[in-house]
Amino acid sequence: MLILSGLLGLIRPETPIRFYDKLLLPEDITPMTGLVAHQLLWFGVDRVEYFTKDIRISVELRPYHDLLAAACQSSQVEMIVVNLPGS
């Protein structure tokens, strides 16, 4: 399992990080795509199951979806989106 951070890209849940207040914005997608694509390969990921609220309702999550989709496409990793119940 990995977490997509708007600042650090992909991190393991047990990775300690300093507090930050950074929401991923649309203009962050292009600069971060290479980093996240590299991290997918580095972590040996061959398929992503992305659990999220419905981005049509929670529009603030759209940049996270778009970044992960672009990075998966770049690194040829399959991406499956799983909308959380009640979202």
- Express as a percent the part of the chain with pLDDT over 70: 99
CB 7 within 8 A of CB 20: yes
Q: Across residues 35-47, what is the average pLDDT?
A: 97
User: Helices (DSSP H) in the chain: which residue ranges?
Assistant: 29-42, 62-75
pTM score, whole prediction: 0.91
| Tokens representing residue 86 in the block | 């009640």
Predicted confidence (pLDDT) at residue 86 exceeds the cutoff of 90: no
How far is C-alpha 19 from the geometric centre of its chain's CA atoms? 18
Beta bridge mates, 49:
80
